[in-house]
């Protein structure tokens, strides 16, 4: 398990991460979600030892992460960094070799991954000749080619069509299933919702929520209910304690205490057929909007300074 303990990070006088603590469990996919400038990439760079935390520490299975451990990490950076003029098969083989895999093993692994990601027939093509989505698949392969013990991916799904998302999800899921911790960031909340086991939501450089997808949905479900009846549901509006959110003919969504909701159900049954009556659970997108609303965004800060290479760790 990877754990952050009270990690903060400042660039110059500006603190962009404040006291982050969360775990990335082995064998589970952890989605790291936050708006632009929330601090996801900075956090990932600290996990990878590319940046040094100003305070706090990062551990792998309870021990500080040293250089040897870092070499077993797989990372897909936000800024894509492969060689545009190199054949993709050769490029992946080369990367695997850099991680110490022997020549035939490296070649086999590169070929397997390209096959799995739908790029088998393109192995001899130069990266630059591929569409952006296919280049993205090669980036995914590059993060996986040395069979990493930890996988950290910054926006692995951006620019992928739905079929490619499914392929990448399958391959990443298989790696997690081998018992490695996987942390990935994404703005595609529908994909995160479908894919991840655990979620970490960051806003304004602070962790705003962590938990399993179901825990978060339960915690944010509030008292909203859906009723679909056999006839018009306009009468729901008249029940004391009910606040109607949506009303469309025989379908209503409303907020009410559980007691009032039961009253609505009884009334609905007394009026005739009830097709559906259930609590409405929020989507991840709704939870995310709830949580990050009104958060100041660092990028809106007029005093924001830009890159300071002196901040980068050696």
Q: Does 308 bind ligand ATP (CB under 6 A)?
A: yes
Which of 37, 74, 181, 282 is close enough to bind ligand ATP by CB under 6 A?
Answer: 37
Strands lying side by side in the sheet with 2-11: 14-24, 2-11, 55-60, 63-64
For ligand ATP, the closer of residues 37 and 282 by Cβ is: 37
For ligand ATP, the closer of residues 294 and 300 by Cβ is: 300
Dist CA 208 CA 269 (whole Å): 41
Dist CA 60 CA 72 (whole Å): 12
Shortest reach from residue 51's CB to ligand ATP, in Å? 8
Q: Read off the tokens for 180.
A: 């490695």
For ligand ATP, the closer of residues 36 and 231 by Cβ is: 36
Which of 234, 279, 299, 313 is close enough to bind ligand ATP by CB under 6 A?
Answer: 299
Q: Does 41 bind ligand ATP (CB under 6 A)?
A: yes
Which of 34, 77, 89, 282 is close enough to bind ligand ATP by CB under 6 A?
Answer: 34
CB 29 within 8 A of CB 199: no
Give, as ranges, the residues between 55 and 94 that touch ligand ATP (CB under 6 A). 78
Shortest reach from residue 40's CB to ligand ATP, in Å? 4
CB 5 within 8 A of CB 58: yes
Dist CA 56 CA 8 (whole Å): 6
Q: Does 152 bind ligand ATP (CB under 6 A)?
A: no
* Three-state secondary-structure class, residue 183: strand
Contacts of 302 (CB under 8 A, 6+ apart): none
Q: Does 52 bind ligand ATP (CB under 6 A)?
A: no
- Write the DSSP assignment of 254-280 as a string of letters: EE--HHHHHHHHHHHHHHS-EEEEEEP
For ligand ATP, the closer of residues 247 and 304 by Cβ is: 304
Shortest reach from residue 63's CB to ligand ATP, in Å? 25
Question: Which residues here bind ligand ATP, judged by CB under 6 A?
Answer: 11, 16, 34, 36-42, 78, 298-299, 304-308, 311
């Amino acid at each position: 398990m990877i754990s952050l303990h009270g990690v903060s990070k400042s660039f110059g006088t500006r603190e962009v991460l404040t006291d982050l603590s969360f775990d990335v469990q082995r064998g589970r996919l952890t989605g790291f979600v936050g708006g632009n400038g929330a601090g996801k990439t900075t956090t990932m760079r600290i996990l990878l030892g590319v940046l040094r935390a100003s305070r706090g520490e990062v551990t792998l299975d309870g021990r500080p992460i040293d250089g040897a451990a870092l070499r077993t990490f797989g990372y897909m950076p936000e800024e894509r960094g492969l060689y545009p003029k190199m054949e993709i098969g050769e490029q992946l083989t080369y990367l695997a070799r850099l991680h110490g895999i022997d020549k035939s093993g490296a070649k086999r692994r590169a070929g397997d991954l390209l096959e799995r990601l739908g790029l088998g027939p393109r192995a001899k093509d130069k990266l630059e000749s591929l569409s952006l989505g296919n280049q993205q698949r090669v980036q995914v392969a590059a993060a996986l080619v040395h069979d990493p013990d930890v996988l950290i991916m910054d926006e692995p799904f951006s620019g992928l069509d739905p079929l490619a998302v499914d392929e990448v999800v399958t391959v990443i899921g298989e790696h997690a299933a081998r018992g490695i911790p996987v942390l990935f960031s994404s703005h595609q909340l529908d994909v995160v919702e479908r894919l991840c086991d655990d979620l970490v939501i960051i806003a304004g450089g602070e962790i705003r929520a962590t938990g399993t997808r179901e825990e978060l949905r339960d915690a944010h479900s509030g008292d909203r209910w859906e009723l679909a009846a056999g006839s018009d549901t306009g009468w729901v509006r008249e029940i004391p304690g009910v606040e109607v959110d949506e009303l469309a003919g025989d379908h209503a969504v409303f907020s009410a205490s559980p007691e009032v909701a039961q009253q609505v159900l009884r009334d609905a049954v007394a009026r005739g057929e009830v097709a559906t009556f259930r609590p409405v659970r929020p989507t991840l997108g709704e939870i995310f909007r709830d949580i990050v609303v009104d958060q100041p965004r660092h990028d809106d800060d007029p005093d924001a300074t830009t890159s300071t290479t002196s901040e980068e760790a050696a």
